[in-house]
Amino acid sequence: MGSQSYPFPRPHKPLIFLQDAVMLALNMQQKSKNWLIADVGATSCRIAVYDGGSIDNLQISRNDEHSSLEAKLSGYLKSMQNPPAHAVLAVAASVENDDICMMNRDWQFNRESLAAVGFDTIKLINDFHAIAFALPTFGDADRLEVGEATHYRNGTMAVLGPGSGLGMAAWVEGGAAMFGEGGHVTLPARDAREEQILTRLRDRYGHVSAERVLSGPGLLALHKAMHDEILTSPEDIFSEPSTNAKADTIGQFYLFLGSVAADLALITGATGGVYIAGGIVPSYPDLIANAGFRQRFEDNNRYPEYMRSIPTWVISEPVPGLRGLAAFIDQDRPASR
C-alpha cells in the first residue's frame, strides 16, 4: 500500500496584519527617500521636506523662538508622522570645522549633536553654497532684472546677498559650486565722499569689510557714519525712505552694493549674470531699481562693455536656499543610496 502525503496546512496571517506590514515597509521606504532640508540663517530658519520631486511641509520661523538649532529641528520632527531619516542643512557660517559657530547668532552645534535629534545622515553646507546650486534652476519667474544688459547667455553665475551678514558664492560653468567668505573682503571707496564715510567706519571698527556696510547691522553703521544718527533696526531706515537722511543712506548702500557686485563679477567671470539674494534687497525691489546700483556696476573705465554685458537680477523666489538644497541632493543622490 503506497503512502500518500498531504500538504501541511500553514497558518495564514490575517489580512489586516499583511496590510500593516506593507504600510510599514512603504513608510520605511519613504522615510529613507525623504530628506529634511533647512536653510539656517542668523535671523530665521526655513525647514521643509524634499522627496526627490517636490518641497513640502515648509515651515518658516524666527530663531529667537528656540534656544538652539537642535531644539528647532526636534520640534519640527515631532510634528511629523514619518520624519525623514536624512538631513542636509545650509548654514550661515563657515562649515570647514566639525564644530559650527554662527557669527551672527549664538548657536553652536556639530554633526553629532544634530544627528542625535533623529537622523541617520547629516550633511552641512554653507548657506550661499546652497544658493549657488539653485542659480541654474532659475527662470524669469524667479528673478527681477535690475537695469538691462547688452547680452544674455549661459556661463558662470555669481550671487551675493546682504542679510544679517553678507554671503557670496558662484555657480561655475561646467557644473561646480564655489563659495567662500567673500563678505569679509575690504570694502572699496570710489570717490572722496565714500572715502570719508569709510574713514569714519575705520575709526569705529578698524578694518571695514563689505559686510560692515552691506548687511542689516551694516546699514545702521552706514547711517551713523553718514548722519551721526543712531537707529535700532534696518526697518527704521526702510520704513521712511522719503526722509532726506534715510534716502541718502539707502542710496549710498546701493552704490556700495554695486561696487562689490561688480568686483564679484570680475573675479568670477560671471558672464551668466550676478544675482542678489538675502533678506534686505528682495524685500524692497523698487528701491534697487531706482537707485544707482546698475550704473555703479557698469562704471568700469577699462571694461565698460564687459560689465554692460552682464545681467543683474534680484532673486524673487521666496526660498532659494531650499531650492539649492534640493538641487544639491539631486546631484549627490546616486552616491547617497
d(CA 143, CA 315): 4
Do 277 and 329 have their domain in common?
no
Instruction: Kindly report the pTM of this predicted structure.
Output: 0.87
One domain, residues 195 and 330: no
The percentage of residues in the chain with a pLDDT greater than 90, rounded to a whole number, is 80
CA distance to 19, 21, 28, 56, per residue, from 24 (Å): 8, 5, 6, 21
Q: Do 294 and 156 have their domain in common?
A: yes
Per-residue model confidence as pLDDT tens digits over 123-142: 999 999 999 999 999 999 99
Q: Residues 39, 57: one domain? A: yes
The letter for the amino acid at 209 is: S
Read off the pLDDT of residues 157-185 as tens digits, 9 standing for 90 and up: 999 999 999 999 999 998 999 998 999 99
CATH label of the domain that carries residue 31: 3.30.420.40
CA distance 229 to 206: 20
Give the CATH number, domain containing residue 144.
3.40.367.20
Q: Is residue 94 part of a domain?
A: yes
Q: Is residue 3 part of a domain?
A: no
* Same domain assignment for residues 171 and 294: yes
Chain segment 183-195, per-residue pLDDT in tens: 999 999 999 999 9
pLDDT band at 32 (very low <50, low <70, confident <90, very high): low
Q: Is residue 249, in this structure, part of any structural domain at all?
A: yes
Average pLDDT over residues 248-275: 97
Residue 305 to residue 178: CA distance in whole angstroms: 25
Q: What one-character-per-residue DSSP string does 280-337 give?
A: SGGG-HHHHHTSSHHHHHH--SSSHHHHHTS-EEEE--S-HHHHHHHHHHHHHHHHH-
DSSP code for 118? T
Query: Which residue do the cell numbers 550633511 mark?
Result: 123
Same domain, 91 and 146: no
> Does 4 map to a domain?
no
* 1 located within any domain: no
Same domain, 68 and 152: no
Rounded mean pLDDT, 216-231: 96
Report CA 101 to chain centroid distance, whole Å: 17
Does 153 lie in the same domain as 44? no
Side-chain-facing half-sphere of 274: CA atoms under 13 Å: 30
Rg (the chain; Cα; Å): 25
Asked, for residue 171, whether it belongs to a domain, the answer is yes
Q: What is the mean pLDDT of residues 24-51?
A: 80
**6 found inside a domain:** no
Residue 97: what pLDDT? Answer: 83
Domains of the chain: total: 2
Q: What is the mean pLDDT of residues 312-316?
A: 98
**289 plus 325 within the same structural domain:** no
126 and 159 housed in the same domain: no
Confidence class for position 6, pLDDT limits 50, 70, 90: very low
Report helix, strand or coil for 230: coil
* Residue 22 confidence (pLDDT) above 50: no
Residues 169 and 92 in one domain: no
Q: Same domain for 50 and 95? A: yes
167 Cβ contact partners less than 8 Å away, ≥ 6 residues apart: 92, 126, 127, 128, 131, 159, 160, 161, 182, 183, 277, 278
Domain that holds residue 100: 15-130+321-336
Residue 8 lies in a domain: no
Give the separation between CA 201 and CA 17, rounded to whole angstroms. 71
